[in-house]
Amino acid sequence: MSTDNLPLLIEPDILEESLGYDNLLIVDLSKPDNYRKLHVPGAVHLDYAQIVAMRKPVMGLLPDDDTLEKQFSALGIDTDTHVVAYDDEGGGRAARLLWTLETAGHERFSLLNGGLHAWANEGHRYDNTVVTPVAKSFVVQHRDTPIARSDYIREHLGDSTCCLLDVRSPDEYLGVKKYAERAGHIPGAVNMEWTQAIDAGRNLRFKPDTELTALLDSVGATPDKQVICYCQTHHRSAHTYLVLKQLGYPDIKGYPGSWSDWGNDPSLPVE
């Protein structure tokens, strides 16, 4: 049985039907205690800290290629592996894993729609046995296409073909709450809090495509533009990146480090 036709956003029913597929790896990024209580059968656990790097005060950076090769190999990923990721917090950590895989040249992946909430609340079978990964050989094919760093963003400030999408809370965006040396947002950025894309009434799934498109249109994040999403570290905005990818936006990027990078660099302008 093949994983070739699995969608980017996979429903729990479809995943349960696919559990026996060859080359399928399910990765759980929930809190360790929650993983030990229940997880999708066969899922391996991954600590979120293993897929982000830091240079304090900058957090949420992309690890170097050697680190990613070792981590993904140990996790059991190779060229043929289809990764399905989920977490217990609305999809941010799982989405960051998938964005990281994309930067490493691996796009055989899916996000479990609704994550652990949807799986557990809708009666799907689960396990509580810790699964030990079977190591494989992962080779990074580095891609910069999904990445926007501060120098790239600075070059595109004021560019009408580019939309900077800040998905932090309105208080962070407006500078009322300060989590870096400086408060505020990148000049020209528009604000849409990331949780607006989540349907709390349907076990934290993505909202329907029509609602998401209307929401993004309302702030000017339209498919004809390059959309660069950021938050504090590119954790929340990784979820937004997957929303945009699911909607078929052709030109999207995420900012590793995000405001912890921009807001702590005195050479960069703030609004």
**CA nearest to 186, candidates 157, 210, 151, 213:** 157
Which residue is catalytic, options 162, 163, 229, 231?
231
- Alpha-carbon 83 to chain mean position: 13
187 preceded by a cis bond (ω within 30 of 0)? no
Q: For 127, which DSSP code?
A: B
SS3 state of residue 130:
coil
**CA nearest to 29, candidates 49, 10, 11:** 49
Q: Check if 231 is active-site.
A: yes
> How far apart are the C-alpha atoms of 5 and 21, rounded to whole Å?
11
Q: What is the CA radius of gyration of the chain?
A: 18
Q: For 55, which DSSP code?
A: E
**CA nearest to 86, candidates 196, 167, 168, 12:** 12
SS3 state of residue 148:
coil
Q: What amino acid occupies position 239?
A: H
> How far apart are the C-alpha atoms of 79 and 64, rounded to whole Å?
19
Give the residue numbers annotated as catalytic, written as ranges: 231
